[in-house]
Amino acid sequence: MDVTLKQAWLEQRNNPLSSAVPENTEGTHSRSKKIVIIGNPNVGKSVLFNNLTNNYVTVSNYPGTSVEVTSGFADINGERFEVIDTPGMYSLTPITEEERVGRKILIQGRSDIVLHVVDAKNLERMLAFTLQLIEAGLPVILVLNIMDEAQKAGIKIDFTLLEKLLGIPVVGTISTTKKGMDILKERIVGYAIRKKS
């Protein structure tokens, strides 16, 4: 498909910054699993990304565009994940250049886990995109972020029922205080194992 894109990915993997990170001793030579974070702008994606990745971060311009894509590594339960934070994205049908880049990453990236981060206050506005992602057969985990504000606004969300209706894991987080991060990590590991089998 897109040759320049593949090159960019390879370059990113061979990036001096990321190779400076100590190798996972237990790790095999197979590539690390990939987590892609997507969602509207201003839902706390970047904070969540930072919470996951312990700051092994590379920022690179997406080939041919001025759109920045951030990537880093996360060690969860001794397993290494590559984490990619995409620019803001509203749906699978892109309008802006940023959205186009986000979708390219989804389509060409072979992600193992897609974290769809949404603002819990505005679930209604963002759920359509979640449906699209599920429909596309992507391994989605829905992250309801900014739960504190949703609670303040008197919004109650039935997580068990939502998981049942959507058929995917749903996790509530408050990325600014790292609340819910442990559960999210658990789900990521669980989901990765489940996908393998």
Partner 1 sequence: MQFEKNHDGPIEHSLEIALETIEGLLHDRYTLSRRAVGLLLLQEDHEIQEMVKESQPTILDHIEKIISGVKATYAYPIEYEIALLRRDEVERIINRVVKVKEKEQGIAEKVSALMMNPIAGFPLLFLILYFGLYKFVGVFGAGTVVRYIEETLYDNHLNPLLVKMVAFIIPWRILQDLMVGEYGILTLGLRYAVALILPIVTFFFLVFSVIEDTGYLPRLAMLIDRTFKKIGLSGRAVIPMVLGFGCATMATLVTRTLPTKRERLIATMLLALAVPCSAQLGVILALLGGHPKAMVLWAGIIMMVFLFIGFLTARLLPGERPSFYIEIPPLRVPHLGNIFTKTYVRVKWYFLEILPLFLLASVLIWLGKLTRLFDFLIFLFTKPVAMIGLPKEAAKVFLFGFFRRDYGAAGLYDLNKDGLLTGDQLLVACVALTLFLPCIAQFLMNLKERGWKTGVGISLFTLLISFGIAFMVNLVLNKLGISL
Site of interaction with partner 1 (CB under 8 A): 1, 92-94, 100, 103, 106-110, 123-124, 127-128, 131-132, 134-138, 153-158, 161-169, 190, 194
The burial of 93, by beta-carbon neighbours within 10 Å (0-12 exposed, 13-18 middle, 19 or more buried), is given as exposed
Nearer to partner 1, 25 or 93 (CB): 93
Residue where the block lists tokens 């900014």: 146
Nearest-approach distance from CB 143 to partner 1, in angstroms: 15
1 contact partners, CB below 8 Å, separation of at least 6? 108
The Cα 115–Cα 130 span in angstroms is 10
CA dihedral 126, 9, 16, 35 (to 10 degrees): 30
Nearer to partner 1, 53 or 142 (CB): 142
Nearer to partner 1, 44 or 169 (CB): 169
Nearer to partner 1, 32 or 111 (CB): 111
Nearest-approach distance from CB 10 to partner 1, in angstroms: 18
The Cα 51–Cα 166 span in angstroms is 26
Nearer to partner 1, 53 or 86 (CB): 86
Nearest-approach distance from CB 93 to partner 1, in angstroms: 6
The Cα 190–Cα 116 span in angstroms is 17
The burial of 188, by beta-carbon neighbours within 10 Å (0-12 exposed, 13-18 middle, 19 or more buried), is given as buried
Identify the helix (H) or strand (E) that includes residue 147.
Answer: helix 147-152
Nearer to partner 1, 53 or 119 (CB): 119
Nearest-approach distance from CB 23 to partner 1, in angstroms: 28
Nearest-approach distance from CB 167 to partner 1, in angstroms: 4
Nearest-approach distance from CB 106 to partner 1, in angstroms: 7
